[in-house]
Amino acid sequence: MRLIGKTFQKLKNHRDGTLVAYVTGGDPAPKYTPIIAQALIEGGADILEIGIPFSDPIADGPTIQAASVRALRAGTTPRKVLEIVREIKNQHNIPVGILTYYNPIFRMKLDRFFSLAYKCGVDGVIVPDLPIEEADEYRRVAESFGIDTIFLAAPSTSKERLRRIVECTTGFLYLVSHFGVTGEREKVEEETIQMIKRVIPFTTGRIPLAVGFGISKPDHARVVVENGAEGVIVGSAFVNIISENQGKMSKMLDEIKESARRIKEATIQNLGIHSKI
């Protein structure tokens, strides 16, 4: 079992949910991402997800789209993001995944990308626009470097395709909580709860289940974990804090740390017991 899987298993043994915290690499500039990562870790993030900024992020809403623009304007490249991961991994023993669209990988070539990712300590890769039907070579190369390939399932995913996705994914299954793009939501919809319950029979005993897209508040995290998911993926909430506090680094870091702490605390599965993170 690799580091991502071990992290989910360790937390599950303690009846804790897993907080996967996303930020766009290089937002607002590459030098700040390791500092932001440290604030997330201090707040309670169990796994980090660092996005490679891309000019056409079709799965992302306005918040993360704007973060990609800021990062690209600051000169962030895929190689710089991988070097940021190296810096984070040199300081913290925490799983770090990369979220990227397939174009940057295609341009760099699979072997070169995964070789550099391995050298920089990347534990897993998420590619929202790569369907499993076209991912055989991608999975083979990633496996040769011991890097998890984390696939996504959506509300529209059929039972047959869900079974295939579960067979292909390693690390965890990324469950998209609703139709549409990333972004904060007011509440967890009933359809999300029903979707979690529909997917659990496919993942139980096979792969951890983490829910993302729209998970931005402690109440969201609590509902998702109480209904059977082993983790939550939170991105836009943290990216919004970065956006609103550009030029106010101390305030930004304090707010990120506090937001992560509150969301992480909500994933504790021992109901009625409040653990201080």
Q: What is the pLDDT of residues 185-221, one digit of tens each?
A: 556 668 888 999 999 999 999 999 999 988 989 999 9
Work out the pLDDT band at 57, boundaries 50, 70, 90.
confident
pLDDT mean across residues, the chain:
91
Question: Of 60, 148, 230, 265, which residue is the catalytic one?
Answer: 60
pLDDT reading at 184 higher than 80: no
The residues spanned by each domain of the chain are 3-266
pLDDT on residue 192: 87
**What is the spatial order of strands in the sheet that 231-234 belongs to?**
148-150, 124-126, 96-99, 47-51, 18-24, 231-234, 209-212, 173-176, 152-153
pLDDT reading at 60 higher than 90: no
Angle at 54 between CA 49 and CA 56, to 5 degrees: 125
pLDDT tens for 138-158 read: 999 999 999 999 999 998 899
Based on the residue annotation, tell me whether 83 is a catalytic residue of this protein. no
Question: Of 16, 49, 230, 255, which residue is the catalytic one?
Answer: 49
pLDDT on residue 49: 98
Distance of alpha carbon 131 from alpha carbon 151, whole angstroms: 8
The alpha helices in 14-77, defined as continuous H runs, are: 33-43, 62-73
Is the dihedral angle over the CA atoms 138, 80, 52, 222 positive or is it negative? positive
Reference 131, options 96, 108, 157, 109; nearest CA is 157
Distance of alpha carbon 255 from alpha carbon 226, whole angstroms: 26
Full-model pTM: 0.92
pLDDT on residue 277: 36
Cβ within 8 Å of residue 212, ≥6 positions away: 20, 22, 174, 175, 176, 177, 182, 232, 233, 234, 235
pLDDT on residue 73: 96
pLDDT tens for 249-263 read: 999 999 999 999 999
Share of the chain above pLDDT 90, in %: 82
Q: Which class is 3-266 in CATH?
A: alpha beta
Work out the pLDDT band at 55, boundaries 50, 70, 90.
confident
Based on the residue annotation, tell me whether 46 is a catalytic residue of this protein. no
pLDDT on residue 58: 74
